[in-house]
């Protein structure tokens, strides 16, 4: 394995990622809490809808360009020249800029044609349009280029800078509006874009001037196939995304209700991004693709994929139990006394995260082994769920349309892809045995926390610590962590932390 995607480099990237994730997690939680406190409920609802519009349009206008970088940049860094890599990055960024410019013009025109949600103020359309362009190009450099080049330290610096600017803006304003916060998002994205571009340029200059002898660049047809297959599945993914569902409900729900839903969805997204398994996944994804491109060892790819999902799922279960037992208190503390009534919705969305994480990992595996067409077909099949729920059920389900659509989509995509992989000879065990043991362990831990007397923050803190302790002990005693898991944990850490059976 060459240096950029070797085990030692992966460990360094994980260390850099963890160091960066601590301030990023604090900043993200601070921004969410401050925005819910500083903005009135209606203004926070407008901000939620505006950011949902940004996320949705960014996804629908990507045309799979992000996956061109994630899939092929590791190969360019391993075997190509700096000029070839620079041409690829500049070409993708230029295409993204052109597409986003056209879309931003459409958003600007939409404000006068009543195409925006009825509750969304038209005067915010201009800020949203500019934010679309800046944020989209910034993510091409930060989230796609720096990640694919295994430059986690620089990626985290850009992320921390952006969060710091927004947090400082929230601390500086008093009784702000949605427009003020959107302008803060825009300023932070501009700074992150400039810094990300500087980091990418510096990294490219250090690459070899000549490609390896005999190496041929991936053809445009290959890149187009990767882009279009991922875009086809990505369209479905964004139609089922929280951002799209928020916009769908914004036409029939009050801004105050959208504020509560948006807060719960954002908190759920923070939980997903900062779970241990996803921390590893964000770093290991480029290694998985780079390693498979070099050795074509599906067994190793599968072992890493299952390991990352298992770590994610096991770290999610205590969060799910805390949401079920203390969800109202968590929401009130995070929002300054608001949104405690969304406790059940919060718990259900935490459960949905398990299916979501499995899908994200499956997507990487399918891209690595060349099953993007099957992935796109499975995603298109899941479209059948949304019309059934949205047309007759939007009025009756209300906010519960969101978890119903999300769960239905994930069940269909995960089921069809796993079945398709098995038919093509790619084994994909579902781990029913360790799932059963883990669920029994977390069930026992949740009951212990539920029976603990007392109320308030202190009782909830003690109950949460007790829940985690009982779950950890029950998990170890049940044997849910097997020998393969111990080996991979030791490989990730680079030391013999867990004893392996000889």
Q: Whose CA is closest to 364, among 425, 284, 270, 294?
A: 284
Domain boundaries defined on the chain: 3-208+219-493
Q: What is the pLDDT of residue 199?
A: 92
> For the chain, give me the number of helices (H) and strands (E)?
20, 0
Q: 491: exposed, middle or buried (C-beta count within 10 Å: 0-12, 13-18, 19+)? A: middle
Cβ–Cβ under 8 Å, residues 405 and 348: no
- pLDDT tens per residue across span 455-493: 788 888 999 999 999 999 998 888 777 777 777 666 655
> Residue 218: is it exposed, middle or buried by C-beta count within 10 angstroms (0-12/13-18/19+)?
middle
CA distances (Å), origin 240, targets 9, 273, 282, 311:
36, 18, 22, 25
Do the beta carbons of residue 301 and residue 288 sit within 8 Å?
yes
357, 307 contact by CB (below 8 A): no
In sequence order, the 6+-apart residues with CB closer than 8 A to the CB of 365 are 288, 301, 302, 305, 421, 426
Could you read off the pLDDT tens digit of each residue along the chain, which spans 502 residues?
A: 445 555 555 666 566 556 656 777 778 777 877 777 777 777 887 887 788 788 878 887 888 888 888 888 887 877 778 888 888 899 989 999 998 888 888 777 766 666 666 566 777 788 888 998 999 999 999 888 888 887 878 888 898 889 888 888 888 877 678 888 889 889 999 999 999 999 999 888 888 888 778 778 888 888 888 888 878 777 777 777 776 777 777 766 777 777 788 888 888 887 877 776 666 666 666 667 766 766 777 877 888 888 888 888 888 899 999 998 898 888 888 777 778 888 888 899 988 988 988 888 888 888 778 887 888 888 888 777 766 666 655 566 777 888 888 888 888 889 999 999 999 989 888 888 899 999 999 999 999 999 887 778 888 899 999 999 999 999 888 877 777 777 766 665 555 544 544 4
Contact between 148 and 74 (Cβ < 8 Å): yes
Q: Which residues contact 16 (CB under 8 A, 6 or more apart)?
A: 152, 153, 156
Instruction: Identify whether the C-beta of residue 78 lies closer than 8 Å to the C-beta of residue 103.
Output: no
Give the model's pLDDT for residue 467.
93
CA neighbours closer than 13 Å in the CB half-sphere of residue 3: 3
Q: Residue 16's pLDDT is what?
A: 59
Rounded Cα gap, residues 307 and 485, in angstroms? 6
Q: State residue 501's pLDDT score.
A: 44
What is the rounded CA–CA span in Å between residue 319 and residue 308?
17
Average pLDDT of the chain to the nearest whole number: 80
């Amino acid at each position: 394995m060459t240096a950029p995607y070797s085990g030692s480099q992966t460990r360094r990237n994980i260390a850099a990622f963890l160091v960066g994730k601590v301030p990023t997690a604090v900043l993200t939680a601070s921004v969410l809490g401050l925005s819910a406190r500083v903005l009135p409920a209606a203004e926070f609802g407008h901000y939620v809808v505006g950011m949902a519009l940004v996320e949705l349009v960014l996804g629908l206008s990507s045309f799979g360009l992000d996956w061109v970088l994630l899939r092929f940049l590791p190969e360019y860094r391993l075997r190509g020249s700096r000029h070839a890599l620079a041409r690829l990055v500049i070409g993708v960024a230029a295409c993204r800029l052109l597409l986003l410019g056209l879309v931003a013009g459409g958003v600007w025109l939409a404000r006068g044609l009543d195409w925006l949600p009825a509750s969304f103020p038209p005067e915010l359309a201009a800020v949203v349009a500019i934010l679309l362009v800046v944020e989209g190009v910034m993510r091409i450099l930060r989230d796609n280029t720096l990640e694919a080049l295994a430059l986690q330290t620089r990626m985290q610096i850009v992320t921390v800078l952006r969060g710091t600017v927004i947090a400082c803006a929230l601390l500086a304003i008093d009784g702000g509006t949605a427009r003020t916060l959107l302008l803060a998002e825009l300023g932070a994205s501009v700074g992150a874009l400039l810094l990300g571009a500087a980091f990418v340029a510096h990294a490219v200059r250090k690459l070899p001037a000549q490609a390896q002898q005999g190496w041929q660049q991936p053809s445009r047809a290959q890149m187009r196939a990767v882009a279009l297959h991922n875009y086809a599945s990505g369209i479905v993914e964004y139609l089922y995304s929280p951002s799209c569902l928020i916009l769908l409900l914004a036409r029939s729900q009050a801004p105050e209700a959208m504020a509560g839903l948006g807060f719960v969805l954002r908190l759920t997204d923070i939980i997903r991004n900062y779970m241990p398994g996803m921390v590893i996944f964000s770093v290991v994804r480029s290694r998985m693709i780079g390693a498979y491109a070099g050795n074509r060892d599906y067994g190793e790819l599968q072992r890493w994929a299952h390991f990352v999902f298992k770590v994610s799922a096991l770290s999610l279960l205590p969060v799910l139990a805390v949401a079920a037992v203390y969800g109202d208190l968590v929401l009130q503390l995070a929002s300054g006394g608001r949104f405690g009534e969304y406790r059940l919705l919060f718990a259900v969305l935490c459960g949905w995260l398990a299916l979501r994480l499995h899908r994200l990992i499956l997507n990487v595996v399918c891209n690595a082994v060349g099953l993007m067409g099957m992935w796109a077909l499975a995603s298109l099949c899941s479209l059948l769920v949304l019309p059934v729920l949205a047309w007759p059920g939007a009025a009756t389900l209300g906010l519960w349309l969101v978890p119903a659509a999300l769960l239905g989509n994930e069940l269909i995509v995960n089921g069809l892809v796993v079945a398709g992989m098995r038919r093509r000879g790619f084994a994909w065990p579902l781990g029913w045995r360790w799932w059963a043991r883990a669920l029994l362990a977390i069930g026992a831990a949740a009951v212990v926390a539920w029976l603990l007397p007392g109320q308030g923050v202190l009782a909830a803190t003690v109950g949460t610590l007790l829940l985690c302790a009982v779950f950890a002990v029950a998990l170890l005693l049940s044997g849910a962590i097997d020998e393969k898991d111990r080996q991979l944990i030791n490989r990730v850490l680079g030391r013999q932390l867990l004893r392996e059976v000889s």
